[in-house]
C-alpha cells in the first residue's frame, strides 16, 4: 500500500469511476456505552472496493489546536482520517476526564475496525494508526498499549502529565487544567485533578510504557521551542529506554524548530508523519 506523499501540498485528481473524497460526521459510544463522542471521517478518493490506511487523530487539552489540517493532509495522501472530540469536550456527551480520553481513543479505534465501518469507509483494518498531539499524544501512547493490532502511533509534543507529579511540579499541571476548564464539561476541578493522580498510580506515564511498546512502531516529534511539554522531559525518558532494546519496529524521534502547537511547521510535520507512515507500511510489505 502506497501513500501519495506528493499530495501533502496539492489536491489529487479523482479519476473517472473512482469514489470521490468525502467528509461525514460520526457518533461513537464510549464510556461503557454511556456517552456519544462526536467527530468526522474524511475519506480519500479511491477505486470501488479498495481499502486504505486509517489515521485516528487525537487532539490535546482542551482542543484549541485541532489536528484537522493534519488529517486533511493525510486524506490527500490517501489515508482515511478520523477526528474525534473526547467525552465532555466540544459537544461530545459525558464528563471530561484524563483517563477517559484514553478510553475514547480505544473506542474510536475499535469502531473503525468493525466490519461495517471498515466496509463503509474503505478502511484497511491491518493498517490503522494513532496520531496524537500534546495530551492526545498521552492518549495515543496509552491506547496503543491496550490495542496490539494498532499499526503504530505518531506523537507530536506529548504532554506526559504523570511525570510532573514525579518531578514535584504539580502546580504546572494545575495551571494547565484551570486554563482549559471553561470549554469542558467537568464534574469539578477537584475530580479532574484526582483523576490525574489516578493516571499516575495506574502507571499511564510515558516512561512506564517502554515494556509494552518496545517492539511497536512509534514516531515522536518534539518541538525545539516548546515550553509546555519540553521534549527532553516528556519524550526523553521513554525514548532512552526504547533505544536500549533492539527491534525491527520503525521507531523514530525527530525535532523541529517550532512551539508546542507547531504553529510554524504544520505542513512540514504533516509531511513527516506521512513519510513515517509510509516507512511503516513498506516495512510490513513482504
DSSP 86-132: -TTBTT-SS---HHHHHHHHHHHHHHHHSHHHHHHHTEEEEEEEEEE
pLDDT of residue 166: 87
Three-state DSSP class for residue 61: coil
Q: Are 70 and 56 in contact (CB under 8 A)?
A: no
Three-state DSSP class for residue 236: helix
Residue 105 CA to residue 101 CA, distance in Å, equals 6
Residue 165 CA to residue 175 CA, distance in Å, equals 13
pLDDT of residue 80: 98
Residue 133 CA to residue 250 CA, distance in Å, equals 19
- 129 phi and psi angles, rounded to 5 deg: -130, 150
Longest CA pairwise span in the chain (Å): 60
pLDDT under 70: residue ranges of the chain: 1
Residue ranges and CATH numbers for the domains of the chain are 17-281 (3.40.50.1820)
pLDDT of residue 150: 98
* H-helix segments, the chain: 68-77, 98-113, 115-121, 135-146, 162-166, 170-180, 189-201, 210-213, 231-234, 236-243, 266-284
Per-residue model confidence as pLDDT tens digits over 173-197: 999 899 889 999 999 999 999 999 9
pLDDT of residue 34: 86
Q: Are 162 and 193 in contact (CB under 8 A)?
A: no
CB atoms within 10 A of CB 188: 10
Amino acid at each position: 500500500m502506497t501513500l501519495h506523499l506528493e499530495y501533502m501540498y496539492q489536491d489529487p485528481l479523482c479519476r473517472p469511476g473512482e469514489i470521490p473524497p468525502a467528509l461525514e460526521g460520526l457518533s461513537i459510544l464510549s464510556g461503557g456505552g454511556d456517552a456519544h463522542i462526536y467527530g468526522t471521517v474524511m475519506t480519500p478518493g479511491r477505486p470501488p472496493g479498495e481499502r486504505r490506511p486509517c489515521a485516528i487523530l487525537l487532539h490535546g487539552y482542551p482542543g484549541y489546536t485541532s489536528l484537522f489540517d493534519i488529517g486533511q493532509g493525510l486524506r490527500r495522501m490517501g489515508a482515511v482520517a478520523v477526528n474525534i472530540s473526547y467525552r465532555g469536550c466540544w459537544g461530545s456527551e459525558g464528563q471530561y476526564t484524563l483517563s477517559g480520553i484514553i478510553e475514547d481513543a480505544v473506542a474510536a479505534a475499535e469502531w473503525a475496525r468493525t466490519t461495517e465501518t471498515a466496509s463503509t469507509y474503505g478502511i484497511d483494518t491491518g493498517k490503522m494508526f494513532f496520531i496524537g498531539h500534546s495530551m492526545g499524544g498521552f492518549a495515543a501512547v496509552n491506547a496503543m498499549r491496550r490495542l496490539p493490532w494498532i499499526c503504530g502511533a505518531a506523537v507530536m509534543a506529548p504532554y506526559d502529565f504523570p511525570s510532573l507529579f514525579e518531578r514535584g511540579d504539580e502546580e504546572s499541571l494545575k495551571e494547565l487544567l484551570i486554563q482549559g476548564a471553561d470549554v469542558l464539561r467537568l464534574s469539578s476541578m477537584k475530580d479532574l485533578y484526582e483523576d490525574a493522580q489516578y493516571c499516575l498510580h495506574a502507571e499511564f506515564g510515558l516512561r512506564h510504557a517502554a515494556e509494552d511498546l518496545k517492539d511497536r512502531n512509534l514516531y515522536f516529534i518534539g518541538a525545539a521551542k516548546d515550553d509546555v511539554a519540553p521534549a527532553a522531559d516528556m519524550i526523553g525518558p521513554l525514548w532512552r529506554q526504547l533505544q536500549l532494546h533492539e527491534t525491527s519496529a520503525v521507531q523514530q524521534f525527530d525535532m523541529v524548530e517550532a512551539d508546542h502547537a507547531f504553529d510554524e511547521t504544520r505542513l512540514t510535520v504533516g509531511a513527516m508523519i506521512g513519510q513515517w507512515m509510509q516507512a511503516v507500511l513498506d516495512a510490513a510489505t513482504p
